[in-house]
Amino acid sequence: MPENALEVAGLRKSFGSLDVLDGIDLTVGDGEFVSVVGPSGSGKSTLFHLVGGLLQPDAGSIRIAGQDAVGKRGRIGYMPQQPALLPWRTVEDNVVLARELAGTPRRKSRAVARDWLDRAGLGGFAQAYPDALSGGMRQRVAFLRALLSDNPLLCLDEPFSALDAMLRADMHRWLLGIWEENRRSVLFVTHNIEEALLLSSTVYVFTRRPARVLERVEVPFARPRSDEAVDDPEFVRLRRHITDLLKTEPLKGPLAQ
C-alpha cells in the first residue's frame, strides 16, 4: 500500500487576531482526486500556501508522501488561480518551468512538453507567446506546467473560477481526460459544488472562517466520468446536500451581528 499523497492533521493558522484555519484534517490518497469546497474567504488559499511551504502553520502537521513538508517549498505541482505564465517565454518554455526550477535543463524537457501539448490540443501553440492565447488556453498551459513537475501531488487553486460556464464545462471534460491518462494525486480547491462533485472521489466541505472540516463527502460515481453524471439522481442529491450544508452553516464573527 503506497503512502498517502498528502496528510494534513490538526492544521491551524491565524494572521494576528484573525483565525483562518481552525484545525484541519485532510487526506489525499495516492492517485486520488480530492476537492475542498467552502465559502469564499474560508481560508482555502491559505491551506495551499501552507501545503506549498510559503507559510508556517501555528500548529499541526503536513506530510507529503510520508515526508514532513511543513515550511518546505517545491514539493507540489501547483496551478494558481490566475495562469501566472511568464509573458516573455513561449508556451513550450512555460510548460517546462517547474522542471527547470528543480534543476532539469530546459532542452531535456522540451520533448515531453511538446508531447503533452499535442495531447492537450495545444500542439500548434508550442512556439506562441501567452498573450496570443485565450483565457482557457492559458489555463490549460498552466495546468500542463503543474502536471509536468516531478512532484506526484498536484494542487489546483480555483483554476477555472475566472472562466465562463461553457468554457468551464469544456475544461472539466479536458481535465478529466488528461487525469484519466495518468491518475495523479490532486488536491483541488473550488467554491463550485458541481465542479467538485464532478471531478473528485472525495469532497471536503469547509466552514466559514475560521475554517474547519464540516463534512467529508464520498462521491461514488464510477470512472471514467462524463459530464452526464450531473443528471444522475445521486449527483443531484449530493449537490443538494452540500448546498444545504453551506447554507445552514451559522454565521460567525462580525457578520453575525
Kindly write out the interface string for residues 22-51 of this chain, putting x where it contacts other proteins by CB under 8 A and - elsewhere: --------------------------xx--
* Smallest distance from other proteins to CB 52, Å: 4
Q: Which is nearer to other proteins, 29 or 74 (CB)?
A: 74
Min separation Cβ 84 and other proteins, Å? 4
Q: Is there binding between residue 138 and other proteins (CB under 8 A)?
A: no
3-state class (DSSP) for residue 50: helix
102 in contact with other proteins (CB under 8 A)? yes
Q: Please say whether the beta carbons of 215 and 205 come within 8 A.
A: yes
Under rule CB under 8 A, residue 107 binds other proteins: no
Q: At 142, phi and psi to the nearest 5?
A: -65, -35
- The dihedral over CA atoms of 28, 238, 161, 201, expressed in degrees to the nearest 10, equals 20
How far CA 178 is from CA of 97, 143, 174, 243, 257, in Å, comes to 19, 10, 6, 28, 47
Beginning with the edge strand found earlier in the chain, give each strand of the sheet holding 213-218 in spatial order.
77-79, 153-157, 185-190, 33-37, 202-206, 213-218
Task: Answer yes or no whether residue 88 interacts with other proteins by CB under 8 A.
Answer: yes
Q: Considering beta carbons, is residue 77 or 194 the nearer one to other proteins?
A: 77
Sheet holding 6-15, edge to edge: 18-28, 6-15, 59-64, 67-68
Asked if 3 and 65 count as a contact pair (C-beta separation under 8 A), the reply is yes
52 binds other proteins (CB under 8 A): yes
Judged by CB under 8 A, which of 129, 167, 221, 229 binds other proteins? 129
Using CB under 8 A as the binding rule, the residues of this chain from 150 to 169 that contact other proteins are 155
Count the site residues for other proteins by CB under 8 A: 30
Nearer to other proteins, 139 or 149 (CB): 149
**Residue 5 binds other proteins (CB under 8 A):** no
80 binds other proteins per the rule CB under 8 A: yes
75 forms part of the interface with other proteins (CB under 8 A)? yes
Structure-block grid coordinates of residue 62: 503536513
Contact segment (CB under 8 A) with other proteins among 52-60, 169-177, 211-219, 223-231 equals 52-60
Contact 131, 94 (CB under 8 A): no
Which residue has 532539469 as its cell numbers? 104
Residues near other proteins (CB under 8 A) are: 48-49, 52-54, 73-78, 80, 82, 84-90, 97-98, 100-102, 129-131, 149, 155
